[in-house]
Amino acid sequence: MEPLPSDWPTWDTGRLEAEIAGHNRRYWDDQAPSISDYDYDRLVERLRALAPESPVLRAMGPTIGALGAPVEHLASMLSLDKTYDEDSLQKWAAKFEGELVMTPKIDGLACSIRYTRGRLEVAATRGSGEIGEDVTINIRLFDDVPPRIPVDETVEVRGEVFLPLSAFHALEGDFANPRNTAAGALKQKNPDKFKAFGLRFFAYDVLGVPIETEHEKFACAKAWGFVPVEHALVRRDQVQAGYEAYVARRDDFDFEIDGVVFKANRLDEQVRLGATAHHPRYAIAYKLQGESATTVLRDVEWSVSRNGVLTPVGIVEPVKLSGATVTRISLHNWGLVQSKGLSLDATVVAMRRGGVIPYLEAVVKPGDRPIEPPAECPSCGAAAEVSGDLVWCRNPQGCRAQTIANLNHYAKVVDIEGFGQVWLEKLLDAGVLHAPPDFYRITAQDLVEFDRMGETLAAKMVAAVDARRAVSLPVFLQALGVRDLGKTAATTLAERYGTLDAVRAATPEALTELSKFGELVARHVTEGLAEKAHLIDALLEHVEVTPVAVREKPRGGPLFGKSFLFTGTLARMRREDAQDRVIALGGTAASGVSKNLGYLVVGSEGKAGSKLQKAEKAGVPVLSEDAFVELLERAEAESRATRSSEAQASQAQAPDGVAGAQSP
Ligand code: IVH
């Protein structure tokens, strides 16, 4: 650094800090800087030399929230779609033109760093994808993150914060894994302690600059002083080899990788493909296989699920998988046992992927003792029934295992604390608890009767129930244990209908208009709710179900008022994706032919069958897949144009909007 001119005052640290803080305020909050950037930088460098740990150096942005404060992302931070095999990767890659970029998927935390007028303004974790947590003061301490970039527009650099394995192993204390440690470290308030962790940041995305390819983004990030994640351009026929090369190098990196990310290199293709609410269609993570080990299957036990399915569990010779000893593996269902030709004493490969319970991956050598489906339910003794891939216990009322599983499910979903498996069994056997409404009738007197239950614990359990007498609609729906009505479906239903009465009144046809509700799911849900009418009514005597705000279907949109029905197999996209895209444009996905149907789309593969005949009879327009895609793309272009003119209008008021080159 050049010596300061002699006429510059020789401030002490305190005055220098106050001076810089004043300039910060004038620059960021008042947008009226009183000195040049050059002079400001000199002051900052001076302070850095005098007091490198000064808090003022960590707060050189606008007066924003503290560590952990909510930060709204300018463009949603989505997650990645996943694939586990080459086939589906190739199907995905066939949807766009041009090369692909390939990068390792680092197991860390996504972070977005925003620059305004060239200065690091705010950094935030991904959070919900819409709103993240402020981590600016710690991100400023990264050597991998420049405080300034030579660009005036608002720009976002996104990437992965991670803890190098070498740094993780050097830590003393009880740290579960690098990822969780990195997440904890980012929240560290003490700068010395934070720096001691040695977190790093690799950039994988740049938003807000007018460039044409992913590849250029990396060059851009690098030129600004970031470390871009390792990347390569590949052709379609090189993706599998590229993936395998990463598998082979997996242990060589100083960070954990859990997959390989592929993206369409051309941004115009990315814009054309767009995104679902969850992930962009132009990127995918080809996940690495989990750890596997060979062992011998000795026995099969049948466990009873909540809805009466008898599931086979393999008992195997103890084997080490990801550091834990495994003796039980999931065999999924009776169909899998048959299709794998499984027998007792077979040598099998057990696999664990992404932290889930280990399961049977392959049979290496068959055994010689056949496996039979159970003749009766291991819990209640009722005759078991084989139907397709599944074995059923059709005795829901009289089966202890099902009753307990249902009580357990209700307590878990509604989040009633203290009712673990052991207590549920005791309470059921004592006749205190049989169905979910009984939770709300339990008194402390009922409970103190039991061994190992004092008055304090009894009061606590009753209070835990009382704390859950108001239950939000999606939670209530999920807690009922209706087939196919899991968390996502319950949320979709609740957001569409708002109240329990409206959900109960919905027809299967109406449900098929919702995202991810096919005909079968719609039927299971409506039938399940009808079958459980008695349970619902009984629960309503004790529980207040709180409604949720109805999420309005997008009004307008280029396909507003038009319904689409698909038949045959689509060659260019999955049917669910086609439906999602129609819905995103304001249209609806129909479940059957009626004269009100907008279009019947006939897939290019397979036969169209009776729907086509019916549609022709009803005078419904029929589209080939190509014609449909053309219509869709035109509508998407129209919608983009509308949005960008809306965005321009709103940018006129808020000049700092990120002109997302790739935001869908
Ligand atoms: S590209 C739409 N590239 O994976 C997001 N992500 O499930 C596109 N990740 O939250 C991100 N390494 O934090 C990309 N080389 C890489 C990555 C990567 C890790 C994370 C990222 C994201 C998650 C997606």
Q: What is the CATH number of the domain that holds 527?
A: 1.10.150.20
Confidence of residue 5 (pLDDT cuts 50, 70, 90): low
Pocket residue to mutate for ligand 1, from 76, 80, 215, most atoms within 8 A of Cβ = 80
Quick check: is 105 catalytic?
yes
Number of domains in the chain: 6
- 662 in any annotated domain: no
Same domain, 648 and 632: yes
What are 295's strand-pairing partners?
348
Pocket residue to mutate for ligand 1, from 113, 256, 260, 261, most atoms within 8 A of Cβ = 261
- 518 in any annotated domain: yes
Q: Of 482, 515, 546, which one is at a domain's C-terminal end? A: 546
Who has greater pLDDT, 357 or 394?
394
Please classify residue 342 by burial: count the beta carbons closer than 10 Å to its beta carbon, then call 0-12 exposed, 13-18 middle and 19+ buried.
buried
> What are the φ/ψ torsions at residue 203 (nearest 5 degrees)?
-85, 135
Q: Is it the case that residue 452 has pLDDT exceeding 90? A: no
Q: Is it the case that residue 268 has pLDDT exceeding 90? A: yes
Residue bearing the CA closest to ligand 1, atom 13: 110
From the alpha carbon of 279, which atom of ligand 1 is closest? 2
Choose the catalytic residue: 105, 287, 562, 614.
105
Average pLDDT over residues 530-537: 97
> What are the φ/ψ torsions at residue 232 (nearest 5 degrees)?
-145, 150
Spatial strand order of the sheet with 599-602 comes to: 588-589, 563-567, 599-602, 622-624
Confidence of residue 386 (pLDDT cuts 50, 70, 90): very high
Separation of alpha carbons 65 and 82, rounded Å: 34
- 64 in any annotated domain: no
Same domain, 50 and 169: no
CATH code of residue 579: 3.40.50.10190
- 519 in any annotated domain: yes
Average pLDDT, the chain: 88
- 558 in any annotated domain: no
Q: Is it the case that residue 310 has pLDDT exceeding 50? A: yes
Query: Would you state the pLDDT for residue 657?
Result: 32
- 406 in any annotated domain: yes
Same domain, 139 and 247: yes
Which of 150-164, 563-577, 603-617 is the most confident on average? Answer: 150-164
From the alpha carbon of 126, which atom of ligand 1 is closest? 10
Separation of alpha carbons 662 and 664, rounded Å: 6
Q: What angle do CA 641, 647, 651 make, to 5 degrees?
A: 145
Q: Of 256, 287, 318, which one is at a domain's C-terminal end? A: 287
Query: Would you state the pLDDT for residue 366?
Result: 93
Same domain, 600 and 631: yes
Same domain, 193 and 334: no
Distance of alpha carbon 108 from its chain centroid, rounded? Answer: 14
Of 114-128, 241-255, 648-662, which range is least confident? 648-662
Q: Is it the case that residue 64 has pLDDT exceeding 90? A: no
Same domain, 479 and 584: no
By three-state DSSP, how is residue 100 classified?
strand
Please name the amino acid found at residue 101.
Answer: V
The residue whose two tokens read 């925003």 is 114
Q: Is it the case that residue 211 has pLDDT exceeding 70? A: yes
Which of 31, 33, 6, 5 has the alpha carbon at shortest distance from 19?
33
**Which amino acids bring their CB within 6 angstroms of ligand 1?**
78-80, 103-106, 110, 126, 160, 204, 229, 261, 280, 283, 285
Residue 29 DSSP symbol: I
CATH code of residue 354: 2.40.50.140
Please classify residue 190 by burial: count the beta carbons closer than 10 Å to its beta carbon, then call 0-12 exposed, 13-18 middle and 19+ buried.
exposed
Query: Would you state the pLDDT for residue 658?
Result: 32
Contact between residue 146 and residue 226 where contact means Cβ atoms under 8 Å apart: yes
Residue 416 DSSP symbol: -
- Strand 309-321 to 291-304 pairing: antiparallel
Q: Of 468, 493, 508, which one is at a domain's C-terminal end? A: 468
Q: Is it the case that residue 6 has pLDDT exceeding 70? A: no
Same domain, 122 and 242: yes
Q: Which tokens in the block code for residue 312?
A: 């086979």
Same domain, 238 and 325: no
CATH code of residue 30: 1.10.287.610
CATH code of residue 194: 3.30.470.30
What are 45's strand-pairing partners?
none
Query: Would you state the pLDDT for residue 662?
Result: 32
Same domain, 149 and 270: yes
- 162 in any annotated domain: yes
Give the residue numbers spanning the domain of 315.
292-393
Query: Would you state the pLDDT for residue 652?
Result: 59
Average pLDDT over residues 312-337: 90
Same domain, 534 and 579: no
Same domain, 307 and 234: no
Contacts of 148 (CB under 8 A, 6+ apart): 41, 115, 118, 119, 120
- 657 in any annotated domain: no
Average pLDDT over residues 639-662: 57
By three-state DSSP, how is residue 41 classified?
helix
Same domain, 181 and 103: yes
